[in-house]
Amino acid sequence: MAKIKKKGTSGQAKNFITRTQAVRKLQISLPDFRRLCIFKGIYPREPRSKKKASKTSTPNTTFYYTKDIQFLLHEPLLRKFRDQKALAKKIARSLGRGEVSDASRLEKNHAPKLTLDHIIKERYPTFIDALRDLDDALSLLFLFANLPSSPHVPAKTIALCQRVTHEFQHYLITTNSLRKSFLSIKGIYYQATIQGQDIMWLVPYRFVQRVNGDVDYRIMATFVDFYTTLLGFVNYRLYSTLGLRYPPKFDKRSDENGAELAAFTLEGRTVGETPKALEANKQASKPSNQEVSKEVQAKVDKVIKTAGLDQTKDEQVTETTEEASEAIDKFEPTAPEADTLPQPDLSGDEAGSLFAPFVFYISREAPKAPLEFILRSFGCSRIGWDAVLGDGAFTHDETDTRITHQIVDRPSLPESSLPAIPAASTEGAAQKVRPGTRIPGRTYVQPQWVWDCINEGKLLRADLYAPGATLPPHLSPWVKPSKGGYDPRASLAEQEEEEEAARTQHQKELEAEAAGLPFSSGGGAGEAAKKKSAQAKKIASKKRKEEEELERQKMMMSRKKRKLLEKMMYSNKQKSEEAAKLRSKRRKLEKEGQK
């Protein structure tokens, strides 16, 4: 007779372990357990039956896989946590005796340092895995880079986040890897493509942030510690692929003066090699690649021509081919590079040089940091701004004749309401310009023009984005308008259906008749009206035939398929009605604007 199994020795009771049991098994405190789980990527799990897994009647219980906790027993960080606990006891003992100098010496010289390098290698065995997990890391690091220093968020952590994020931005600028960006209520979304992986992150606007007490910054600080190490590894690998030294040279004084991206200097690994030399080598290698591809294409065309024999020749050699088919086939390469597919370039040439021929000047009221990053990522190397915004500008003189575009984010004001500008106090200082002054030969645009241009991949009309003008709708580049839906960028005439267009035309005629305006006088107008009525009759008859055909098809369907079709038609009808409401609302707004 087989032994009866004891309760709790198999199944869910064995596969899951509660958080309290895990803390006791690892012999660490709860905060250290949280940090360890964040570093190792271990998260709570939900069993199918909490009652069977917990062995108790407690409903609110956090569970983990038993194998995950068993895996943590061999983690080297456990020793560091225990060393920290022992050091805290020594410091408390010294303070209790009044030995303040000994306590400070212990804290300064004997504090164990946590290294997460081995965890990065464990969690991301390949570089592609690290790139795929970079979205949340970048969003959190950019968030902490914009926070003010406080007891919860020390200045050292903020400086580290700013440094690694600026280094990542420099890689995107050098390789022109930035693809899209979007201004939303939450912040600015960016999307870059690195080695075929799309990476999207969110950067908050630079407003004055107030640190609230209801946010647990200890958990977020643990993630920041892990993500800074991860991004440091990623930056090193990315810089190494370009032949650049990592970390790049950092000018602390320039950074204190607000240079930000300009405080970093990229250098090549070999002596005297600079990013400009690397760029020249990249440009020099492009024509050779194009020549190779042309040669390969010519050889492939030659093979195709030789293979395209006439049908008469095929009939003559039929007997010979039948005899040769008994032998073993031998496949010989026709051209050595025929199987080499053209690989996509790391940087899109057209998109990467979108703003290359222009010189931009950013006004004081415009957001300098995102504009500088986007303009440099799309080829612009000459960007100026007011000296108040910081160092690193191409020019601080707003009257510089080399400037082709100026980004302004204030409405046009009458000259009488503008204050007088004092003369320059010192020689050589940048000349001040009265706000609202327009310099001839220069294009003035609002910041949205830059974002819409990069999302469309081309230069848009600048007059639609003039200062004080009503801007076009700024839509997400990742959402495409569906068929039959409302598209704010298209005109009403392009979106209106035939019946809706006919109703709109009829409404215009009634309004013109009520206003006493001529709309159908003359023989030509009468003929046009007859044509319109005939066209409307054709449309109505066509629609009636389509409805009858649809009803016949529905009769041949099974009940299940018919119900599914009705649901689809109902949802499509709702979408079309919603789009019609939006179009009518837009039509009213346009009519009010014309008055």
Distance in angstroms (rounded) separating the CA atoms of residues 141 and 201: 10
**What's the mean pLDDT when you consider all of the chain?**
80
Q: What is the pLDDT of residue 371?
A: 95
Q: What is the pTM of this model?
A: 0.74
Q: What is the pLDDT of residue 168?
A: 96
CATH class of 352-413+436-465: alpha beta
Helix (H, G, I), strand (E, B) or coil at 104: helix
Pairing of strands 188-194, 197-203: antiparallel
Pairing of strands 383-385, 360-362: parallel
Sequence-separated contacts (24+) of 205-213 with Cβ below 8 Å: 205/367, 206/146, 206/367, 206/369, 208/148, 209/146, 209/147, 209/148, 211/147, 211/148, 211/150, 211/152, 211/153
Q: Which of 350, 346, 349, 132 is nearest to 242 (CA)?
A: 346
Question: Which residue's structure tokens are 């308008």?
Answer: 481
Mean pLDDT of 53-74: 83
Q: What is the pLDDT of residue 360?
A: 95
Distance in angstroms (rounded) separating the CA atoms of residues 414 and 437: 10
Q: What is the pLDDT of residue 346?
A: 41
Concatenated DSSP letters for 551-568?
A: HHHHHHS-HHHHHHHHHH
Pick the more confident residue, 239 or 568.
239
- Per 3-state DSSP, the chain is made up of helix, strand and coil in percentages (nearest 5) of 55, 10, 40
| pLDDT of 90 strictly over 70 | yes
> Lowest mean pLDDT: which of 47-51, 144-148, 290-294, 499-503?
290-294
Helix (H, G, I), strand (E, B) or coil at 192: strand
| pLDDT of 54 strictly over 90 | no
Distance in angstroms (rounded) separating the CA atoms of residues 100 and 129: 48
Distance in angstroms (rounded) separating the CA atoms of residues 461 and 271: 45
Mean pLDDT of 26-32: 92
Q: What is the pLDDT of residue 339?
A: 45
Mean pLDDT of 123-145: 95
> In whole angstroms, what separates CA 412 from the centre of its chain?
33
What is the 3 state secondary structure string of 414-437? CHHHCCCCCCCCCCCCCCCCCCCC
Q: Which of 480, 467, 497, 506 is nearest to 583 (CA)?
A: 497
| Greatest mean pLDDT range, 251-260, 407-416, 477-486, 573-582 | 251-260
pLDDT in tens, 193-250: 999 999 999 999 998 888 777 888 999 999 999 999 999 999 999 999 999 999 999 9
Cα angle: 591, vertex 592, 595; to 5 degrees: 90
| pLDDT of 117 strictly over 60 | yes
Distance in angstroms (rounded) separating the CA atoms of residues 308 and 516: 73
Helix (H, G, I), strand (E, B) or coil at 401: coil
CA distance between the termini of the chain: 96
Number of residues assigned to the chain: 595
Q: Grade residue 313 by pLDDT with cuts at 50, 70 and 90.
A: very low
Strand partners, 178: 192
Mean pLDDT of 84-109: 90
Peptide bond into 247 cis (omega under 30): yes
Pick the more confident residue, 15 or 184.
184
> Lowest mean pLDDT: which of 138-142, 271-275, 397-401, 436-440?
271-275
| pLDDT of 334 strictly over 50 | no
Pick the more confident residue, 165 or 438.
165
Distance in angstroms (rounded) separating the CA atoms of residues 540 and 488: 28
